[in-house]
Amino acid sequence: MNPIIINEEKCIGCGLCAKDCVSSYLYIEGGKAHTNKGGCIECGHCYAICPQGAVTMAGYECKDEAVVPMTEIPADTLLTAMRSRRSIRQFTDQPVEQEKLDKILEAGRYSPTGGNSQKVAYTILGSRQAEAEAICVELFRKGIGLAGKFASLAERFNITDNFFFKGAPLVIVVSGKSKTDAGLASAYMEIMAESLGLGVLYSGFFVSCTKLSRKLREMLKLPKGHKVRTCLVIGYPSVKYRRIVPRKPLQAKTL
C-alpha cells in the first residue's frame, strides 16, 4: 500500500513536499506531486508542510491539527524549569488520573525515533506492579546482580518492600530495540509528567532486574526483539525542593 496519498485537485505543485522529503520518495512532474515505488519512511514531513492540505497518510488518523511551535514557551522559563527538576523518591498515594497518563504516553508516542521506526513500546505494570517489585526485592536481598559500585553500596541499602517503586502509584516500563529511541521517548514523557505536577524517578535498578529475572521478562511480555530500556516511576511528590542545585562546570568545545 502506498503510505502517501496526493489529492491532485488540491496539489498546486509548489514542490515543498518533495524538497523536504528525507528519502526522495516524492517528486514533482507535470505540476503535481507524485510518489516513487518505495522508500517512504512515513515521517509525515510532506503531510505537515503542504500548504493546501493535499497530502494524507494511509493507515494514520489525520486530524489536520495546527502546529504549536516551541517558541510559544518562553526560553528562560523552560530552561529554569528543566534546571529545577529533581528525581523524586517520595510519593503520595494519590492515583495518577487516566487523562494525565494518556498525555504522558502521547508525549512518548511523538518522540523522535531513528529512521522514524516508531518502535518503542510501553508497559504499564498496573495490577502486577506489586508482584514485579517483589521479584526485584527478592533478587536484591539475595545480593543477585549487585556488582561494581553497587556492591560497595549494598551494605547501606535498606531493601524495603517498596525499594524499587517508592510507593508510587504508576510505573511505566519503556522498551525497544534502540536505547536511543527509548531514551528519547522517556525524556519526552518525563517532561510531560513534570508539566502535569507529577514527579518521576528513573529506576535503573528495575532495568537491571529485568536482565536477571526470566520470570520478570515473561511477565512483561515485550514485543519481539525488545529489551527494557528505562523504567519510569511516576506519582505525586510528597516532597518539595526549594532551590536549584549546582552542577559541575559545562564541558563543551567547538572543533
CATH number, domain 71-235? 3.40.109.10
Measured between alpha carbons, how far is residue 127 from residues 123, 131, 162, 169, 174 in Å? 12, 8, 15, 10, 17
pLDDT in tens, 106-163: 999 999 999 999 999 999 999 999 999 999 999 888 875 555 445 555 567 788 999 9
pLDDT in tens, 66-106: 999 999 999 999 999 999 999 999 999 999 999 999 999 99
Q: Facing residues of 51 across strands?
A: none
Task: Specify the CATH architecture of the domain 4-57.
Answer: 2-Layer Sandwich (3.30)
> Which residue bears the cell 508482584?
131
- The region that residue 202 occupies, defined by phi over 0 for left and psi between -120 and 50 for alpha, beta otherwise, is beta
In the chain, where the domains are located: 4-57, 71-235
Indicate if the pLDDT at residue 48 is higher than 50: yes
Sign of CA dihedral 71, 74, 76, 80: negative
pLDDT in tens, 205-215: 999 999 999 99
Find out whether 175 and 222 touch, Cβ atoms under 8 Å.
yes
- pTM for the predicted model, two decimal places: 0.91
Q: Facing residues of 199 across strands?
A: 235
